[in-house]
Structure 1
Amino acid sequence: MKAFGFLSFGHYGAARGSQTRGAADMIRQAVDLGVGADELGVNGAYFRVHHFAPQQAAPVPLLTAIAARTRRIEVGTGVIDMRYENPLHLAEELAALDIISAGRIAIGISRGSPEPALRGYEAFGYTGSRDARGADLAREKFDLFLRAIDGEGIAPADPRQAPVGTLLPVEPQSPGLRERIWWGSGSRPTAEWAGTLGLNMMSSTLLTEATGVPFHELQREQIDLYRAAYRAAGHTRPPRVSVSRSVFPITTSKDALYFGGRTGGDQIGVIDGFESTFGKTYAGEPDDLVEQLKADTAVMAADTLMLTIPNQLGVEYNLHLLESFADHVAPALGWRPNSDGPVQPDPADDASRL
């Protein structure tokens, strides 16, 4: 693990103890948390994207605000649900964000997770899916998105303004943007697909598979398959891999009150019709966390760890959690704090992992 950041689900509501009573609280606090994390040397600020729910939805304005007020921290998503997106508009917005941030983005995209709305993407105007979960729609739109950010001609030019047959690319273009696109893989087959395309890979705290092995071992297998597919496809840029975990160092009485006794084993459940494996929560004294995370084979195989945070507990408390992890846990795992920008994978290290 060379980098770590926080992953916020962007919850808000009038729950007891919530410091994000409404959307305005959540969004403004997210910016402040990103700025504070940058000052601590944390490598990344990442946000979940959900629709028709009291959570973070439109990520680009938020990421732009954080990027404009910070110097080093990477800003990104984990993940954008492609079913809800216009791929060409998304390509334009992310190119602009990439330019504003000077390349400090890590945009996770996927088919998306179950939403409160039934086929909610159809309410956004995206119909015609032949799959009850919209996977075909997401893949088709993602293919167009990649073509757009690669600068491919997309729209026929007006023949009164250009030679017949001219195809126009979307603008703006941001060179290297594709290298900062991640696919949120929930299974081993989608990980191999992402590797073949030469994308980076995000893997969450759940996998839509259950093979009987511990979650971290199944996720490590996913990472290995991804890297093998990436190499077999002939890609030469060192790929990046992130995993998400719920990790809470207990260093104060308040930490113990919130998270004491929260550790447990993996869980098996059903999500979106798939039998799935859910990773455990890590909570404890820093020295114990170091040993537990070192034994987590997926964490140690990834270059980036995303820590899920309880955003409704407010900026001050979440910065305390990040600082505790940075001071007492991350150095023993190989963490490199931000100094001149987002941590990049070391080609030599990557070669050894492959």
Structure 2
Amino acid sequence: MQRFGTLSFGHYGPLGGGRQLTAADSMLQAIDLAQGMDDLGVNGAYFRVHHFARQQASPMPLLAAIAARTRSIEVGTGVIDMRYENPLYLAEEAAAVDLISDGRLALGVSRGSPETVVRGYEAFGYTGSDDPRGADIAREHFDLFLRAIEGEGLAERDASSPFGGGTGLQRIEPHSPGLRSRVWWGAGNRDSAEWAGRTGVNLMSSTLLTSADGRPFDILQAEQIDGFRAAWRDAGHQGEPRVSVSRSIFPITTAEERMYFGGRQDGDQIGVIDGIRSTFGKTYAGEPDELVEQLKEDAAIAAADTLMLTIPSQLGVEFNLRMIESFAKHVAPELGWQPARV
């Protein structure tokens, strides 16, 4: 494990006991937490993106704010649902954040997971899908997005424009030359992972896999990662792609942490998502030395270079930073991690 960071679902709303976490609270706390993580040398702060829900729906302003307040931490998404996106506008925004952050953007995109509404992307104006889940829209948008960030000319220059003459196709601006290498595809099965490998983008392996053949989740996921890397090599891409996996991991060192997570240790779960029988990864919770031994046996963590810890963002900055620091001090080094900065 070369890197680790956090994956925040960004939930806000009622907390119980008359307490309320607002959208502003959620975003401002995310900025504060990322600053604390940057000081610890944690490698990344990544955010789930969901529409029509009390979660992060517009990540670019948040990522830009974090980038402006930090020095080395990677900022990213896991993942942006391409069914909802104007690909050229996303290309402009992503390039801007990548430039502001000096190349620290890790842009995770995909078809996305089920939302709280029916075909919500149609409300955004993206209709005409032949797929009940809109996968064709996501792939079409992604293809145009890649062409845009690669600098391809996409609109004919107006020779009579008062803002500059000339002819030829013009690219979108701003343009960040290295952004293409920092794009990730979120894959929930082996086929989509291998497609990402052939396409030449990094892999964010999902918290679930649309496969349930009786084998443990980490074995299924490690097999998916192997397929991705083989497809990358077979396509002739240069260099080594990055691969991330996410896990719910809670080091227990205090009575408060035991109260929240002491009973959370469980095995893999089998469920149905999008009508497909799927395997969901287990939760790890325990004393740091117990976690080290368990995580060393996780085949997918061993295969990936980046581990994303799902965090209970509703519990606030102080609690989460203490938990992340505990993982950074007592667990991550035993898995091969070294802080980004001493």
TM-score after normalising by structure 2: 0.97
Q: Equivalent residues in 2 for 1:218-297 (5 A)?
A: 218-297=220-299
Shift of 1:163: 5.6
Shift of 1:159: 4.1
Mapped to 2, the partners of 1:312 and 1:191 lie a distance apart of 31
Mapped to 2, the partners of 1:107 and 1:261 lie a distance apart of 34
Look up the match of 1:93. 93
Look up the match of 1:184. 186
Look up the match of 1:217. 219
Mapped to 2, the partners of 1:238 and 1:224 lie a distance apart of 13
Say which SS state the counterpart of residue 79 (structure 2) adopts.
strand
Is there any run of 5+ residues in structure 1 with no aligned partner, and where? Answer: 341-354
Aligned: 1:311 with 2:313:
yes
Say which SS state the counterpart of residue 98 (structure 1) adopts.
helix
Say which SS state the counterpart of residue 329 (structure 1) adopts.
helix
Mapped to 1, the partners of 2:207 and 2:125 lie a distance apart of 31
The 1:203/1:233 distance shift into structure 2, 3 A limit, reads: same
Mapped to 2, the partners of 1:120 and 1:216 lie a distance apart of 32
Partner deviation per Cα, 1:15-63 (whole Å, 9 max, x = no partner): 2279761101101101101111101111000000000001111000000
The 1:17/1:263 distance shift into structure 2, 3 A limit, reads: farther
Letter in 2 for 1:214: P
Look up the match of 2:174. 172
The 1:33/1:163 distance shift into structure 2, 3 A limit, reads: same
Cα RMSD of the aligned pairs, angstroms, is: 1.3
Query: Share of identical aligned residues, percent?
Result: 70
Partner deviation per Cα, 1:91-134 (whole Å, 9 max, x = no partner): 00000100000001111000000001111011111111111100
Mapped to 2, the partners of 1:97 and 1:142 lie a distance apart of 18
Mapped to 2, the partners of 1:272 and 1:226 lie a distance apart of 23
Say which SS state the counterpart of residue 13 (structure 2) adopts.
coil
Of the structure 1 ranges 243-252 and 16-25, higher mean CA displacement relative to structure 2 is found in: 16-25
Shift of 1:156: 2.0
Shift of 1:158: 1.9
Mapped to 2, the partners of 1:159 and 1:209 lie a distance apart of 54
Letter in 2 for 1:107: L
Letter in 2 for 1:198: G
Look up the match of 1:55. 55
Partner deviation per Cα, 1:259-289 (whole Å, 9 max, x = no partner): 0021111011100111110000000011110
Shift of 1:339: 2.0
Aligned: 1:13 with 2:13:
yes
Aligned: 1:116 with 2:120:
no
Mapped to 1, the partners of 2:108 and 2:66 lie a distance apart of 17
The 1:18/1:237 distance shift into structure 2, 3 A limit, reads: farther
Of the structure 1 ranges 193-202 and 203-212, higher mean CA displacement relative to structure 2 is found in: 203-212
The 1:82/1:120 distance shift into structure 2, 3 A limit, reads: same
Aligned: 1:70 with 2:70:
yes
Partner deviation per Cα, 1:310-334 (whole Å, 9 max, x = no partner): 0000000000110010011000000
Shift of 1:336: 2.1
Look up the match of 1:326. 328
Look up the match of 1:202. 204
Say which SS state the counterpart of residue 32 (structure 1) adopts.
helix
Shift of 1:147: 0.2
Shift of 1:208: 1.5
The 1:216/1:72 distance shift into structure 2, 3 A limit, reads: same
Mapped to 1, the partners of 2:339 and 2:275 lie a distance apart of 40
Look up the match of 1:153. 153
Mapped to 1, the partners of 2:197 and 2:303 lie a distance apart of 16
Say which SS state the counterpart of residue 277 (structure 2) adopts.
strand
Mapped to 1, the partners of 2:172 and 2:214 lie a distance apart of 46
The 1:310/1:73 distance shift into structure 2, 3 A limit, reads: same
Mapped to 1, the partners of 2:338 and 2:182 lie a distance apart of 19
Say which SS state the counterpart of residue 184 (structure 2) adopts.
strand
Look up the match of 1:130. 130
TM-score after normalising by structure 1: 0.94
Mapped to 1, the partners of 2:154 and 2:288 lie a distance apart of 52
Verify the 8 A CA contact 1:20 1:26 in the aligned structure 2: no
Letter in 1 for 2:331: V
Say which SS state the counterpart of residue 305 (structure 1) adopts.
strand
Partner deviation per Cα, 1:193-232 (whole Å, 9 max, x = no partner): 0001110000122111212210000000000000000011
Is there any run of 5+ residues in structure 2 with no aligned partner, and where? Answer: none
Letter in 2 for 1:197: T
Of the structure 1 ranges 219-228 and 121-130, higher mean CA displacement relative to structure 2 is found in: 121-130
Partner deviation per Cα, 1:165-215 (whole Å, 9 max, x = no partner): x21111111011010000001100000000011100001221112122100
Shift of 1:76: 0.2
